[in-house]
Amino acid sequence: MAKKQIDLRMAMNAISDVVQNRPRPLREFDQIYMKSGDMVMQTEFVANWVEDKNVAFIGDGDAISISIAYFKHCGITEYGPKSVTVFDFDERIVEAIRRFAQKEDIPNLTAELYNVLDAFPKPGAFDLFYTNPPWGQHNDGESVNVFAQRGMEAVGYRGDGMIVIADDKELEWPKQVLGKVQRFGAESGYFVSRMMPRLHLYHLDDAPDLQSCNLVLSALPGAARAVESTPVVEPERLNNFYGRSKAPRVRYVREKKRLNYGMANEDEYELILLEGQS
């Protein structure tokens, strides 16, 4: 039976709620957020892809994790995940997800503080993985491969994964990275089962036209194995991890607690009073 089309107005309003909850990106760590219209399309597709599955998000600044759970919760889609767990080293993202899940009463959405350089805490516990990692322009895609590896460990090398990475007709480096990531997938017991080219745009000042694709990897039959997750320590995998000359130096981004989330911080504005007011 064909799935009904989503109500676009409801979908955009839901994405607006999600974006309002999303912390500001930290470009130092290659956090670049997807534009809202593309988030609607991505959410609808991913919600269908993860239907009734336990999904691990290896990082999620875009908040697609929240979006797929929220769409199902609001009835925008009839399909969606069985559960969603986000693993991110940015406590602002982790706590934003937890607050949203509590506020909207979405019990199957949660998040844990985790750095991909550490051993994965729950290998083999999930059915699918999703990641939109640092795109690896300056390290031949090695940063993408580290995130993908953690996703493969999360599903015990038996479940599918979706990797969102740069895709451009003119630039050479996205093609090089795509080739390296596909090679890494093949070496890890995966094959490319689907590729959806040039789908998404981002709030990226220095490259506003740069797009990303969905690269779906599927495990080869018999590829499942016992997983022993270990920390990433090889220097060649860490060079330029978050961009040129940006090797990892931070284990976690800690959130500074404040009272009114979703409202402007006092250091963002100044009040110029009317005469006679104090």
Cα 127 vs. chain centroid, distance in angstroms? 16
Mean pLDDT value across the chain: 91
pLDDT of residue 267: 64
pLDDT higher than 70, residue 263: no
Give 105's pLDDT tier (boundaries 50, 70, 90): very high
Tell me what the mean pLDDT of segment 255-268 comes to: 66
| The model's pTM | 0.92
pLDDT higher than 60, residue 121: yes
Contact 117, 45 (CB under 8 A): no
Alpha-carbon gap, residue 198 to 60, rounded angstroms: 19
pLDDT in tens, 6-41: 999 999 999 999 999 999 988 888 888 999 999 999
Q: For the chain, list the domains and their CATH numbers.
A: 8-248+259-268 (3.40.50.150)
pLDDT in tens, 202-235: 988 888 899 999 999 999 998 777 788 899 878 8
pLDDT higher than 90, residue 93: yes
Helix axes 8-21, 91-104, angle to 10 degrees: 130
pLDDT higher than 90, residue 198: yes
Give 75's pLDDT tier (boundaries 50, 70, 90): very high
pLDDT of residue 2: 59
DSSP for 4-66 reads PPP-HHHHHHHHHHHHHHSPPP-GGGT--PBPHHHHHHHHHHHHHHTTT-EEEEE--SS-HHH
Contact 59, 29 (CB under 8 A): no
Distances (CA, A) of 187 to 145, 155, 183, 241: 11, 16, 6, 21
pLDDT of residue 271: 62
pLDDT > 90 fraction of the chain, expressed in percent and rounded:
72
pLDDT of residue 234: 86
Give 236's pLDDT tier (boundaries 50, 70, 90): confident
Alpha-carbon gap, residue 162 to 217, rounded angstroms: 6
pLDDT > 70 fraction of the chain, expressed in percent and rounded:
92
